[in-house]
Structure 1
Amino acid sequence: MNKPLIGITIGDPAGVGPEVTLKALKNREILDSCVPVVIGDINVVKKAASIVAFESDINVVDNTDDCIDHKVNLISLNNMKDSYQFGMIQPECGRAAFEYIKKGIELALAGKLSAVVTGPINKEALNLAGYHYSGHTEIFADLTGTKDYAMMLTGGPLKVIHVSTHVSLREACDRVKKERVYKVIKLAKKAMNDLGLKSPRIAVAGLNPHAGENGLFGDEEIKEIIPAIEKAKEEGINVNGPLPPDTIFLHCKDGKYDIAVVMYHDQGHIPLKLLDFMGGVNVTVGLPIIRTSVDHGTAFGKAGKGTADETSMIKAIEMAVQFATNR
């Protein structure tokens, strides 16, 4: 098969991940563009199939060599019983979700998958199961031995990549350092290159109001951000900034820049989710493998009802295919 094999981990069984996975795979265009390989548990997938009226046959395989084109293929880890409850934090669900991720990473590192798309996990369930990570990004970085990585979000007209993510706002300010900002600028360029843009236009946000106003409202721009930008420019990278955080996203939305480097979690997440809440995609940049994800949580309140929106999962699969094809 010439199509990319896209692994899809179903996430926490108690959440909406299994449902949005199957709902996305009802989409004929997805099956035309790739060979999906769901990584989960047959009991969980069958339960989700009955909820979302997924009537196609599921091809259960032991390895990716047995996958069939235009079928939903499933690698079942057989690690869940039927006794779990929807919409509840359960250690066994956190354990299962981690095992799906680990399997996906192993297959991708071995060249058996072109990319891994991840369904949502619950961080509390994950930690109760003994896996002390703050999220998917950190799991992928750890299990692939990746030191320099960043979270990129895409949605609607925006692409943003973060200097820091899941830390307190106070710590996020402390993490704005020249070397880290420079590395994220480089990762932004790599991500856009992998999406087919040879010379992306990169904008860098300031940390402070008005990007510091020449030191009047803070000196992080002068001491850390500008030197990082100048270093990147010396390497021929098309980068501009620091731009005031209250206007940078308007310029990106209007097409002046291809991606924005943002300084912390909410600086990038808020504008992107405002413009495209249901269609956002999370990408971990810098890994030796391709990883995309839905940009929403387990939505425990909707789990088991079949009403969860699959748009983000469809977009995540489409972006994984785009990355895999360009690479």
Structure 2
Amino acid sequence: MSNSVTRPRVAVTLGDPAGVGGELVAKLLSDPDTTARADVLLISDEAELAVAGQDAGAPIDYVTGPADGKPLLHHTCATRPGVFERKVATREGGRWALENLEIALGLAKAGDVDAILFAPLNKTSLHLAGMTEQDELRWFEDYLEETGFTSELNVLPGLWTARVTSHVSIARVDEGITRENVDAAGRLLHRVLHESGIAAPRIGVCALNPHAGENGSFGRHELDIIGPAVEGLKADGLDVAGPFPSDTIFLRREEFDGILTMYHDQGQIAMKLLGFDGGVTVAGGLRIPICTPAHGTAFDVVGKGVANTGSIRNAFDLAVRIAERRTIAQPS
């Protein structure tokens, strides 16, 4: 496979075999622009790729030995039960998805790939398969032995969001809203926006409480935690503003390249209303860009050939773009 700076190496997994991941990947790879931009390494097997091609009505044109311009099948050593049950969360499907992701992460740790794209996963399947972490980001973090702040980032064309807290009970959000976490999440959002190609990112910060706390009447997080964190980021030269009431900040979204939210649904509801079919999730704060569509496994349309490819195309584009910029930025 090519090692040129302008042609990153992207490992691709097909996600949960019960869902639409295979169809999405097959459709993505049927576009010549995809394989023109990166060397694609498929973490899969012939049986999974055949089903994916059938679902998409577009067989995947892959090779099993090095050949520029075509996806290369990296034979999986994941556990295959035979035929996967579809349209339902299963232990077997979750195990297959996790084991294939382990292979991709191992390639990343070894420096053999520059980015990872994974098709949608099902958290129930992952937990049935033995994943103990709350979500795949924490699992990535543990596997890669990352020690810094990490956060899921969600992306639409022209707007990013990051979260101070993510997949936790709403009752536990308060304990995660600390000045240190707001500061770390703001810096992470700024860094990844810059890596995506935005020279001077503009970031807006959400309040936690109604009306941004109304000067302490509805809570003091804005006065004691979020506001001071914003001022600290500004003092270090970041273009950051807020905290703004969360029920109006997205009406001002054209003023910002990214919005920092305090908890999951504070940003996700807005982002999915603004562009459900094009959204991307980025595992922010890891040593390698890892991107996926922001939607789920879509069991209701499995096998119908109608799965929308907007999100997976955007996810691939973003993974390649970040990988390119990181490669260029590395010292020779």
TM range (shorter): over 0.9
Shift of 1:81: 4.1
- The answer to whether the 8 Å contact 2:26/2:60 transfers is no
Question: What is the RMSD of the two structures over their aligned residues, measured on CA atoms?
Answer: 1.4
Matched, 1:324 2:309: no
Unaligned ranges ≥5, structure 2: 327-332
In the alignment, which residue of structure 1 is the partner of 2:128?
Answer: 128
Give secondary structure in 2 for the equivalent of 1:307: coil
- The answer to whether the 8 Å contact 1:193/1:200 transfers is yes
Residues in 2 aligned to 1:81 and 1:91: alpha-carbon distance in whole angstroms: 10
Give secondary structure in 1 for the equivalent of 2:281: strand
In the alignment, which residue of structure 2 is the partner of 1:101?
Answer: 101
- The answer to whether the 8 Å contact 1:91/1:125 transfers is yes
Give the aligned residue type for 2:314.
K
1:172-212 CA distances to partner (integer Å, 9 max, x unpaired)?
A: 13311111000001101111121122321111110111211
Shift of 1:56: 4.7
Give secondary structure in 2 for the equivalent of 1:282: strand
**Counterpart mapping for 1:152-191 below 5 A:** 152-191=153-192
Identical-pair percentage: 35
Shift of 1:140: 1.2
Residues in 2 aligned to 1:167 and 1:49: alpha-carbon distance in whole angstroms: 37
Give secondary structure in 1 for the equivalent of 2:167: coil
Residues in 1 aligned to 2:198 and 2:53: alpha-carbon distance in whole angstroms: 38
In the alignment, which residue of structure 1 is the partner of 2:329?
Answer: none
Give the aligned residue type for 1:169.
I
Residues in 2 aligned to 1:56 and 1:289: alpha-carbon distance in whole angstroms: 26
Residues in 2 aligned to 1:296 and 1:74: alpha-carbon distance in whole angstroms: 25
Residues in 1 aligned to 2:206 and 2:178: alpha-carbon distance in whole angstroms: 13
- The answer to whether the 8 Å contact 2:10/2:113 transfers is yes
Give the aligned residue type for 2:156.
G
**Counterpart mapping for 1:70-219 below 5 A:** 70-78=69-77, 79-147=79-147, 148-219=149-220
Shift of 1:237: 1.4
Moved more, 271-280 or 195-204: 195-204
Give secondary structure in 1 for the equivalent of 2:276: coil
- The answer to whether the 8 Å contact 2:194/2:201 transfers is yes
- The answer to whether the 8 Å contact 1:86/1:304 transfers is no
- The answer to whether the 8 Å contact 2:15/2:118 transfers is yes
Residues in 2 aligned to 1:59 and 1:278: alpha-carbon distance in whole angstroms: 30
Give secondary structure in 1 for the equivalent of 2:63: strand
Give the aligned residue type for 1:31.
T
Give the aligned residue type for 1:269.
Q
1:73-101 CA distances to partner (integer Å, 9 max, x unpaired)?
A: 22121532432221122211111100111
Give secondary structure in 2 for the equivalent of 1:58: coil
1:14-65 CA distances to partner (integer Å, 9 max, x unpaired)?
A: 111111111111112212211221212321111111221223532135xxxx
Residues in 1 aligned to 2:45 and 2:217: alpha-carbon distance in whole angstroms: 56
Give secondary structure in 1 for the equivalent of 2:299: coil
- The answer to whether the 8 Å contact 1:290/1:324 transfers is yes
In the alignment, which residue of structure 1 is the partner of 2:313?
Answer: 314
Residues in 2 aligned to 1:11 and 1:55: alpha-carbon distance in whole angstroms: 18
Matched, 1:52 2:88: no
Unaligned ranges ≥5, structure 1: none
Give the aligned residue type for 2:277.
M
Give the aligned residue type for 2:282.
V
Give the aligned residue type for 1:115.
A
Residues in 2 aligned to 1:306 and 1:60: alpha-carbon distance in whole angstroms: 26
- The answer to whether the 8 Å contact 2:204/2:260 transfers is yes
1:202-242 CA distances to partner (integer Å, 9 max, x unpaired)?
A: 11110111211111211111111011112212211111110
Residues in 2 aligned to 1:164 and 1:141: alpha-carbon distance in whole angstroms: 15
Moved more, 132-141 or 20-29: 132-141
| Number of aligned residues | 320
Matched, 1:301 2:300: yes
Give secondary structure in 1 for the equivalent of 2:142: helix
Give the aligned residue type for 2:280.
V
Residues in 1 aligned to 2:154 and 2:68: alpha-carbon distance in whole angstroms: 30
Give the aligned residue type for 1:178.
R
- The answer to whether the 8 Å contact 1:43/1:80 transfers is no
1:153-174 CA distances to partner (integer Å, 9 max, x unpaired)?
A: 0013321011111111121133
In the alignment, which residue of structure 2 is the partner of 1:35?
Answer: 39
Give the aligned residue type for 1:5.
R
Residues in 2 aligned to 1:81 and 1:50: alpha-carbon distance in whole angstroms: 20
Residues in 1 aligned to 2:302 and 2:23: alpha-carbon distance in whole angstroms: 8
TM-score, normalised to structure 1, is 0.94
Residues in 2 aligned to 1:196 and 1:156: alpha-carbon distance in whole angstroms: 13
Give the aligned residue type for 2:265.
D
